[in-house]
Amino acid sequence: MQVTSRVIRRRVVTLLMLLLAAVGGLIARLAYIQVGQTQWLSGQAHNLWSRSIPVQGVRGTIFDSTGKPLVYTATAPSVLAVPAQVLDKGATATELAKVLQMPVDKIVASLQQHKAMVWISPGGRRITDTQAEAVRALHLSGIYITEEGKRTYPEGSLAAQVLGITGTDNQGITGIEKQYNSSLSGKPGYIEFYANAKGQRMPGTGEQYIPPINGNNIKLTINLQIQQFVEREIEQAVAEYHPDRVTAIVANPQTGAILAMANYPTFNPTHWRDYPPNTYNQNLAIWQTFEPGSTFKVVTLSAALQENKVNLTDKFYDPGYYEVAGHRIRCWKAGGHGSESFLNVVENSCNPGFIALGERLGKQTLFSYIKKFGFGTKTGIDLPGEGNGILFKLSKVGPLELATTSFGQGVSVTPIQQVMAMSAIANGGLLMKPYVMKEETNSVTGQVVQQTQPTVVRRVISSQTADLVRQTLESVVANGSGRSAYVDGYRVAGKTGTAQVAENGHYSNGHYIVSFMGMAPANNPRLVAYLAIDHPRPQNGVVFGGVIVAPIVGRILGDSLQYLQVPRSTQGQSKKFRYGDIPLYTMPSFVGMTIGDARRTAIESSAQIRTEVVGQGKYVIAQAPSPGTKVPYGQTIRLYLGGQVPQRPAVPPPVH
Amino acid sequence: MNRTHDGMDWVLVCITLVLLGIGLVMVHSASSVISAQRFGDAFFYVKRQLLWALLGLGAMAWTANVDYHQWRRWAPHLIVVSFLFLTVVLIPGIGQNRGGSRAWLGIGSFGIQPSEFAKLALILFLAHNLEHNKGRLQSFWRGFLPPLAMALVVVGLIMLEPDLGQSVVIVGTAVLLLFAAGARLRHLGVLAGMGALGFAGLVAMAPYRMMRIVAFLDPWKDPLGKGYQIIQSLYALGSGGLLGLGLGNSHQKYLYLPEPQTDFVFSILGEELGFLGAAAVLALFASLVWRGYRTALYAPDAYGSLLSAGITGMIAVQILINVGVVTGSIPATGITLPFISFGGSSLTLMLTAVGILLNVSKQSVFPVR
Q: Please say whether the beta carbons of A251 and A222 come within 8 A.
A: no
**Residues whose CB falls within 8 Å of the CB of residue A638, separated by 6 or more in sequence, listed in order:** A611, A612, A613, A614, A623, A624, A652, A655
Disruptive mutation site among A19, A39, A51, A87 for chain B (greatest number of B CBs within 10 Å): A19
Q: Same domain, yes or no, for A364 and A472? A: yes
Q: HEC profile for A45-72?
A: HHHHHEEEEEECCCCCCEECCCCCEEEE
Q: Same domain, yes or no, for A57 and A7? A: no
B72 residue type, one letter:
R
Per residue in B171-191, pLDDT (tens digit) is 999 999 999 998 889 999 988
Total residue count of chain B as it appears in this document: 369
Per residue in A42-54, pLDDT (tens digit) is 998 888 888 777 7
Q: Residue B1's pLDDT is what?
A: 42
Q: Residue A633's pLDDT is what?
A: 56
List average pLDDT for each run of 10 residues in chain A, which is 656 residues long: 70 94 96 93 88 81 94 87 82 90 90 83 85 88 82 92 87 93 88 80 78 92 95 93 94 96 93 90 91 90 93 88 85 79 87 91 93 94 92 88 89 94 95 96 91 95 93 84 73 84 70 88 92 85 72 91 85 58 65 76 59 78 77 70 66 41
B243 vs A: CB within 8 A: no
Per residue in A68-90, pLDDT (tens digit) is 999 999 888 888 888 877 878 88
Which pLDDT tens digits describe chain B residue by residue (369 residues)?
445 555 788 999 999 999 999 999 999 999 999 888 888 898 999 999 999 999 999 999 999 999 999 999 999 999 999 999 999 888 887 887 777 777 788 766 667 889 999 999 999 999 999 998 888 888 888 888 899 999 999 999 998 888 888 999 999 999 999 999 988 899 999 888 887 888 788 778 877 777 767 667 788 877 777 788 889 999 999 999 999 999 998 999 988 888 899 999 999 999 999 999 999 999 999 999 999 999 999 998 999 999 999 999 999 999 999 999 999 988 888 899 999 999 889 999 999 999 999 999 998 877 765
Q: Same domain, yes or no, for A265 and A348? A: yes
Q: Same domain, yes or no, for A490 and A458? A: yes
Q: Same domain, yes or no, for A62 and A26? A: no
CATH number at residue A120: 3.90.1310.10
Kindly report the backbone phi and psi dihedral angles of residue A554, in degrees, each rounded to the nearest multiple of 5, phi listed first. Answer: -60, -45
| Spatial distance between the Cα atoms of B63 and B351, rounded to a whole number of angstroms | 9
CATH number at residue A232: 3.40.710.10
B205 residue type, one letter:
M
Q: Same domain, yes or no, for A74 and A115? A: yes
In a domain, A552, yes or no: yes
Select from A499, A533, A563 the last residue of a domain: A563
Q: Do B252 and A37 touch (CB under 8 A)?
A: no
Considering only CB atoms, A8 lies closest to which of B306, B316, B323, namely B306
CATH number at residue A624: 3.30.10.20
Q: H or E segment at A362?
A: helix A351-372
Residues 65..94 of B with a Cβ closer than 8 Å to A: which? Answer: none
What total of structural domains would you count in chain A?
4
Q: Same domain, yes or no, for A321 and A407? A: yes
In a domain, A42, yes or no: no
**What separation in angstroms does the CA of A438 have from each of A105, A223, A252?**
51, 11, 12
Considering only CB atoms, A34 lies closest to which of B241, B289, B305, namely B241
Select from A563, A598, A631 the last residue of a domain: A563
Q: Same domain, yes or no, for A30 and A84? A: no
**What separation in angstroms does the CA of A379 have from each of A173, A323, A518?**
21, 35, 19
In a domain, A647, yes or no: no
Q: Same domain, yes or no, for A260 and A207? A: no
B136 vs A: CB within 8 A: no
Q: Same domain, yes or no, for A559 and A447? A: yes
Q: Is the peptide bond before B147 cis (omega within 30 degrees of 0)?
A: no
Select from A515, A533, A563 the last residue of a domain: A563
Q: Residue A650's pLDDT is what?
A: 45
Q: Same domain, yes or no, for A209 and A260? A: no
Q: Same domain, yes or no, for A405 and A545? A: yes
Q: Do A194 and B251 touch (CB under 8 A)?
A: yes
B126 residue type, one letter:
L
Q: Do B255 and A198 touch (CB under 8 A)?
A: yes
- This prediction's pTM: 0.62
Domain around A194: 53-165+177-218
Residues of A that are catalytic: 294
Dihedral Cα A547, A553, A554, A557, nearest 10 deg: 180
Task: Tell me how close the Cα of B244 comes to any Cα of chain A, in angstroms.
Answer: 9
Q: Are β-strands B3-5 and A636-642 bridged in parallel, bridged antiparallel, or unpaired?
A: unpaired
Q: For residue A10, what is the nearest residue in chain B, using CA coordinates?
A: B180
Q: Residue A652's pLDDT is what?
A: 43
- Beta strands (DSSP E) in A162-216 are 189-194, 207-210
Q: For residue A40, what is the nearest residue in chain B, using CA coordinates?
A: B238
